[in-house]
């Protein structure tokens, strides 16, 4: 009787495990839909990710959280949420875009409702600008008509032709619909290195004067950004309809990283590989990065090459 009971328990457990595996398989193969089962903003999860994975960006964290909260909770939004992220490479702009996608779409960046464009990859030839404009408008129109809560990420905006930037303008405007499609629930994120020098210079001055980077306020850097983004012919946004019509909701600065932030990036990278964190290795890897000025206060590449450096030790 005891052996029979054990056999029944094993069969029951096996059936349970198989059921869980089958349920997981069904969920993973189910077609993604444009509904709350697949698209729901996990603001708590995003806050935790910003706290545990994004380092040295107190301004960006606060502004983005508030912007997404406000946008998702407003049933009568007048336009799509449009955020422009500015700063040097390696400060976390692409990473933040990924975290937003992961906490909004169940499939993250793999969601068919998330669309990423890289200027030099998708729009490389100036002579084809007219074709790019037409294709881009059709792409945005077609995808938002399929799912109002689509997200569009444009990387290297500083290298994008002004004509292409202007092509996006109709979808960002204060309008209930364009060609019978409502864009007000969509999200547009622009990534740009423009203003990185101004942001870096301002941050460096703050640190050189013995103040903490957390003392820097958005209002202080908005003036620095505007002098570059709005008034430089190489900024990408220069004289575009997005600027002239005030269609970008938030210009968000990403500060250059300090040594301690690079150390945090190293720890996070090692932990993500399931390896034991050795503080001596963390310090060695972080120290191998290039810093500036002579006082070595700020990282030249941020956390961009951390993963490749960690490869040398694991």
Return binding residues for ATP: 87-94
CB 254 within 8 A of CB 57: yes
Closest to 314 (Cα-Cα) out of 262, 259, 276, 261 = 276
Residue with tokens 């193969």: 29
What is the rounded CA–CA span in Å between residue 239 and residue 237? Answer: 6
Residue 252 is classified by DSSP as: E
What is the rounded CA–CA span in Å between residue 254 and residue 225? Answer: 11
CB 81 within 8 A of CB 67: yes
CB 116 within 8 A of CB 190: no
What is the rounded CA–CA span in Å between residue 263 and residue 283? Answer: 7
CB 87 within 8 A of CB 229: no
* Angle of the 129-146 helix axis to the 162-172 helix axis, nearest 10: 20
């Amino acid at each position: 009787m005891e052996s029979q009971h054990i056999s029944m328990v094993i069969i029951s457990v096996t059936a349970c495990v198989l059921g869980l595996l089958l349920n997981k398989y069904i969920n993973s193969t189910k077609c993604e839909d444009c509904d709350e089962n697949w698209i729901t903003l996990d603001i708590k999860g995003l806050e935790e990710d910003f706290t545990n994975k994004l380092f040295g960006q107190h301004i960006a964290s606060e502004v983005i959280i508030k912007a997404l909260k406000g946008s998702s909770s407003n049933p009568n939004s007048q336009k799509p949420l449009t955020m422009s992220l500015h700063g040097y490479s390696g400060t976390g702009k692409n990473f933040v875009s990924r975290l937003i996608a992961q906490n909004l779409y169940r499939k993250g960046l793999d969601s068919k409702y998330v669309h990423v464009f890289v200027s030099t990859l998708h729009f490389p030839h100036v002579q084809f600008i007219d074709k790019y404009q037409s294709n881009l408008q059709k792409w945005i129109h077609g995808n938002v008509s399929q799912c109002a809560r689509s997200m569009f990420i444009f990387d290297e905006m500083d290298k994008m032709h002004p004509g292409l930037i202007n092509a996006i303008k109709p979808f960002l405007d204060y309008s209930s619909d364009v060609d019978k499609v409502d864009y007000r629930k969509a999200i547009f994120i622009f990534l740009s290195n423009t203003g990185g020098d101004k942001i870096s210079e301002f941050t460096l001055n703050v640190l050189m004067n013995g103040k903490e980077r957390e003392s820097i306020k958005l209002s202080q850097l908005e003036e620095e950004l505007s002098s570059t983004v709005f008034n430089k012919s190489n900024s990408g946004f220069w004289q575009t309809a997005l600027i002239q019509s005030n269609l970008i909701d938030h210009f968000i600065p990403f500060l250059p990283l300090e040594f301690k932030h690079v150390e945090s990036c190293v720890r996070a990278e090692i932990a993500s590989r399931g390896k034991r964190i050795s503080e001596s290795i963390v310090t060695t890897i972080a120290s191998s990065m290039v810093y500036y000025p002579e006082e070595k206060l700020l990282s030249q590449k941020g956390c961009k090459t951390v993963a490749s450096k960690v490869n040398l030790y694991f």
